[in-house]
Amino acid sequence: MKVLDGNGNGKVSHVLSGFQWLLDHHREYNIRVVNISVGATTDRKTNEHSPLYKMVGKLWDAGMVVIAAAGNEGPRKGSITSPGIHPKIITVGCSDDLRNYHSGRGPVPKSCVVKPEVLAPGANVVSCSNKLGYTIKSGTSMATPRVTGAMALLCEACPTLTNGQMKLCLKNSSKDLHLPKSQQGWGLLQIERLIKEGAFLFDKG
């Protein structure tokens, strides 16, 4: 869903309109997983009164798995951008951070939840250009789709799992990198282990 212009710029109102469309149509199109590779630094220190914060909570409560970028305001503490600060959703940082040192860090305001939850590769990713062809990009917006894709695979393999159960699978399958929790969360995404963890819960159900 396009919420930014050709230069990658946009307004919070455009993002909110996209979220509202998802709320209105997720059952119609069987939308299970939502990737949010945008963030608002101006919204970072707000809490439940933030429109972005409220809307991602509604998406999660509607049953969707919501995955958001941690932002690139690191390495200082409390640098995760909104809506990644929401405690319910899954927030993604860069595992390449030892080299790039930009991934957003926890903690987040008014929450004891560990953020980011998970790390994934996000440096020098070949992606679609807003012009013809491809380009190379780095950042948490590039890392987040890897986790989103992995969660979509989990949805396909184990379709009856709830978003909460899927988040638990991600937690139990991630690889501890022995970094501070405010940097790595649960650790590095491990897709094969994620699917096996989901299959275990799926079989038990």
pLDDT one-digit tens code per residue, 19-34: 999 999 999 999 999 9
**What pLDDT is attached to residue 79?**
92
**Across 151-167, average pLDDT:** 97
Instruction: List the single range of 22-26, 48-52, 121-125 with lowest mean pLDDT.
Output: 48-52
What's the CA gap between 138 and 82, in Å, rounded?
19
Q: What is the pTM of this model?
A: 0.93
**Across 102-114, average pLDDT:** 87
Q: Does the structure show a pLDDT above 70 at 46?
A: no
Domains of the chain by range and CATH?
A: 12-204 (3.40.50.200)
**What pLDDT is attached to residue 98?**
56
* Number of neighbours of residue 11 by Cβ within 10 angstroms: 12
